[in-house]
Structure 1
Amino acid sequence: MGTMLTRRDFAKQAMMCGSALLAGFEQAAWPIPSLRRLQSRPDDDFSGGKQLGIVDFVRSRPVEMDAAQGSELDGRLYTDLSKLLLQEPVIPTEQFYIRTRVSRLLPEAKSWRVRVDGLAEKLQSRTIEELCNAAKPLGLHLMECAGNVPLTNFGMISVASWGGVHLTDILENSGARSQASRVLVTGFDQYATKSMTSVPGASWVFSIGDLKAAGAFLATEMNGDPLTADHGAPVRLVIPGWYGCACIKWVTAISFVDDTAEPTSQMKEYAARTHQKGSPALARDFQPTIIDQAAMPVRVEKWVVGEKIKYRVVGIAWGGNTPVKTLMIRFNPEEDYVPVDNFVQTKNDPWTLWTHAWSPGEPGTYSIRLTVKDPAIRTRRLDSGYYVRSVEISEI
């Protein structure tokens, strides 16, 4: 999706990362990869036209967007996707969604260590300085909260450029015992204030094979700078293609466990939202929290082209593990689905931006829904109408 930094380029910046983190999350001037335009072809339908404005989605809740609010477990930031640019798919760090804000009790970065323990031949630990020195560029990756809902304008999904250390580099050099089939990743989880909405327990149990297959990594860098405290600094887990609830922030320990390990409180809290079958008694019976293929509009633009009113629907597609050949769209239940005009998906992570020209037949309320017709591609939320968004058209 963009020009990647080389290992050598990244290594030159690693000392800056270490110094910044030891000073307490100060910024370091790491370069961010440049990005090419994501549109598959020009929008000829709007050539020579003028955009008149944006049509708001109906029933959108008046939520403050792009600004952190609340604190600790009740802290949130909702990303305003309506501002997403076709030529710049990365969300700035200060606008990247937040599900839980940093604890006021978090220890200072310079003393941070990640323990490697459990069913291992010997106990180990990695300092934050060691992790920063070993960090490398790991590309653009999307993250979505499993609780990303319409009430917050689907504002808990974002894309960033990440840097860090592949988890396999740590797991394969930790002397795990033969019975160690899984790892428990634990994050700092002590707060000064009791939560009104969330259950404490920042930890998750993973199959080692699942982590390797997903390319999981410990992130120390985000969008060219060290992680910020709200985004998990000094180190967080990122699992490309998985829901954010499994991407543990403020990682303190990686523990080898066996198949008798029980699920954590966080796994239980998110069981329904990650499409588990009930709440299994053992962690091994939890399915990977992989994001299904999904798609939705993020804004509807009103244009005048040759004295005629036209609308351009701009949206995103993400999730899954097989690129979609044809994304279909309709504007009301009685209409047939038609292919999205301007959509080419070459990879599932991060997201693919698409556009569609639309000329409504009459004023009224329209419900915009996307679908994928390939039965081999799992689309549970799309199938349920989860990402349907409606607009009120007053002028045609």
Structure 2
Amino acid sequence: MRPQPRRQFLYLCAGGATTLLFACTPDPGADIDEGGSTDTGETGDGDGDGDGDPGACSDPFAGGVLLGVMTSFEGEGQTSVGDPQGQGLDGRLALDLGTLEANTLITANQDFFVRTALPDQLDLGQAWNLRISGLVDAELDLSLEALAALPQTSRVVLLECSGNGNNRAFGLISAAEWSGVLVSEILDMVSIQAQATAVLIQGFDQHSQPSASSTPGCSWVFRFAELAAAGAMLATHMNGEPLPPDHGQPLRLIIPGWYGCCNAKWVDSIRLVDDTEPATAQMLEFATRTHQTQAHALAADYAPGIMQQAAMPVRVEQWEVDGQLIYKIVGIMWGGTEVTHALAIRFDGGAAVPVQVCPAHATNDTWTLWSYAWSPPAVGTYEITMAIDDPEIPTVRLDSGYYARRITIEMV
């Protein structure tokens, strides 16, 4: 067996051939025909669209030995990865993405990322009241018991902080199953005036300690069609349990597909507004991060804060297969509004090479895991970037190199 590199390998395995095939690449030693399919001798159509034999994904690592795993990348901060830091507006917890496997795509409540921790001015011992006001014929107050009596829904949804960055190893992202009441069910309980065009949803956000980097004000304005299209809910449960305090207990907004800053926690107010409503402090703070053209003065001028399609590697595994050293890049793909198979990978800004997603990318609600078999040409540090090879799919942040990661290879 080859000697092991010293740097960055966080654990070693005695052996085994277990491999992640939630998504995979063609066998690098297989013959590729002009249509791009893979000749592996297996059954199935080989196009990665999921309509062939689901067991037909080629596995370049079959029979190999896993030698080691790199989960840290060059130049990235590890602050708060797996370890809670700070309080209130400065409370942070980053998920360790390098540990993700096919059976950990739902993040445990205690591991789910935190961008803002429980406000210390909030008394969770008091009875909770949700007030619906503004451009309605009569205001309405709803208790948690009244909400529980409404039709309930559940959905697996991924959230990403719009400021998720390499200072915390991109760990401000997680997925969970949320349960609660559709916002549309709540709005049906009031008579909305004709001039109302949008809904301001606000959460409690009062902290005794000021923040040097964040502005208080947990609120966002949504148009009716945006809430309906996303299937927005007010969640009371997370992964089958009551919401933890740091995740919005007792009530938080979940608007699938939108950045985390739009998903208000500790929701206590819904107000119906018209097109003259000013942008909230949170909308102004996160305008650039949610792909707005500027920090607009009016909420009506804001585009939906939808996460665009993105992808990145989360670890690099070192394998020995048939006496040869091969690296397995494991990553995630998330965001966007369309299912796509057009994932590609680049090394040091070179040509984009397709990554066959297999089984197929089936939902944009949560993430998809993929892997890529890589034989580096030489030792050294490589920059890995991902791309979506489809001009119809917005990928502004991805194309800017925001999710680029650098890894040092010491043995080939």
User: TM-score w.r.t. structure 1 length?
Assistant: 0.88
3-state SS, counterpart of residue 60 of structure 2: helix
1:90-121 deviation digits (Å, cap 9, x = unpaired)? 11111111110001221225500100111101
Mapping 1:198-209, distance limit 5 Å: 198-209=214-225
Given the superposition, is the C-alpha separation of residues 239 and 154 from structure 1 closer, same or farther in structure 2, using an over 3 Å criterion? same
- Greater helix proportion: 1
Is 2:62 the partner of 1:47?
Answer: yes
Is the contact between residue 233 and residue 255 of structure 2 (CA under 8 Å) also seen in structure 1? yes
Rounded to whole Å, the distance in 2 between the matches of 1:202 and 1:62 is 27
Is the contact between residue 187 and residue 203 of structure 1 (CA under 8 Å) also seen in structure 2? yes
Rounded to whole Å, the distance in 2 between the matches of 1:111 and 1:90 is 30
1:264-288 deviation digits (Å, cap 9, x = unpaired)? 1111011111111111111100111
Is 2:310 the partner of 1:294?
Answer: yes
Q: Shift of the alpha carbon at 1:43?
A: 5.6
Match of 1:347 among 342, 348, 363: 363
Q: Which runs of 5+ in 2 are unaligned?
A: 1-20, 24-53
Is 2:175 the partner of 1:148?
Answer: no
Rounded to whole Å, the distance in 2 between the matches of 1:253 and 1:137 is 20
Match of 2:337 among 301, 314, 321: 321
1:226-283 deviation digits (Å, cap 9, x = unpaired)? 1000000000001000001010000010000111000011110111111111111111
3-state SS, counterpart of residue 45 of structure 1: coil
Rounded to whole Å, the distance in 2 between the matches of 1:206 and 1:247 is 11
Larger CA deviation: 193-202 vs 125-134: 125-134
Q: Which runs of 5+ in 1 are unaligned?
A: 1-36
Is the contact between residue 202 and residue 249 of structure 1 (CA under 8 Å) also seen in structure 2? yes
Q: Shift of the alpha carbon at 1:86?
A: 2.0
Match of 1:102 among 106, 109, 118: 118
The amino acid that maps onto 1:49 is: G
Partner of 2:353: 338
The amino acid that maps onto 1:327 is: L
Mapping 1:1-396, distance limit 5 Å: 38-39=22-23, 44-55=59-70, 56-109=72-125, 111-134=127-150, 136-333=152-349, 335-343=350-358, 344-396=360-412
Rounded to whole Å, the distance in 2 between the matches of 1:109 and 1:340 is 51
Q: Percent identity?
A: 44
Larger CA deviation: 350-359 vs 123-132: 123-132
Given the superposition, is the C-alpha separation of residues 275 and 232 from structure 1 closer, same or farther in structure 2, using an over 3 Å criterion? same
User: TM-score w.r.t. structure 2 length?
Assistant: 0.84
Rounded to whole Å, the distance in 1 between the matches of 2:126 and 2:368 is 38
Is the contact between residue 219 and residue 236 of structure 1 (CA under 8 Å) also seen in structure 2? yes
3-state SS, counterpart of residue 365 of structure 2: coil
Is the contact between residue 341 and residue 357 of structure 2 (CA under 8 Å) also seen in structure 1? no
Rounded to whole Å, the distance in 1 between the matches of 2:227 and 2:270 is 12
Rounded to whole Å, the distance in 1 between the matches of 2:296 and 2:78 is 37
The amino acid that maps onto 1:292 is: Q
Rounded to whole Å, the distance in 1 between the matches of 2:364 and 2:260 is 16
Is the contact between residue 92 and residue 113 of structure 2 (CA under 8 Å) also seen in structure 1? yes
The amino acid that maps onto 1:86 is: A
Rounded to whole Å, the distance in 2 between the matches of 1:245 and 1:252 is 16
Given the superposition, is the C-alpha separation of residues 392 and 92 from structure 1 closer, same or farther in structure 2, using an over 3 Å criterion? same
Rounded to whole Å, the distance in 2 between the matches of 1:300 and 1:140 is 27
Q: Shift of the alpha carbon at 1:360?
A: 0.9
Q: Shift of the alpha carbon at 1:341?
A: 3.7
Is the contact between residue 68 and residue 77 of structure 1 (CA under 8 Å) also seen in structure 2? yes
The amino acid that maps onto 2:131 is: R
Given the superposition, is the C-alpha separation of residues 310 and 135 from structure 1 closer, same or farther in structure 2, using an over 3 Å criterion? farther
3-state SS, counterpart of residue 273 of structure 1: helix
Rounded to whole Å, the distance in 2 between the matches of 1:49 and 1:38 is 18
Rounded to whole Å, the distance in 1 between the matches of 2:307 and 2:78 is 27
3-state SS, counterpart of residue 44 of structure 1: coil
3-state SS, counterpart of residue 262 of structure 1: coil
3-state SS, counterpart of residue 154 of structure 2: strand
Rounded to whole Å, the distance in 1 between the matches of 2:166 and 2:341 is 27
The amino acid that maps onto 1:340 is: V
Is the contact between residue 343 and residue 357 of structure 2 (CA under 8 Å) also seen in structure 1? no
- The structure whose Rg is larger is 2
Partner of 2:4: none
Rounded to whole Å, the distance in 2 between the matches of 1:342 and 1:183 is 38
Q: Shift of the alpha carbon at 1:64?
A: 3.2
Rounded to whole Å, the distance in 2 between the matches of 1:151 and 1:304 is 32
Partner of 1:33: none
Is the contact between residue 66 and residue 94 of structure 1 (CA under 8 Å) also seen in structure 2? no
Q: Shift of the alpha carbon at 1:197?
A: 1.8
Q: Shift of the alpha carbon at 1:88?
A: 2.7
3-state SS, counterpart of residue 46 of structure 1: coil
The amino acid that maps onto 1:50 is: V
Is the contact between residue 73 and residue 195 of structure 1 (CA under 8 Å) also seen in structure 2? yes
3-state SS, counterpart of residue 134 of structure 1: coil
Rounded to whole Å, the distance in 1 between the matches of 2:338 and 2:276 is 33
Rounded to whole Å, the distance in 1 between the matches of 2:215 and 2:268 is 19
The amino acid that maps onto 1:167 is: V
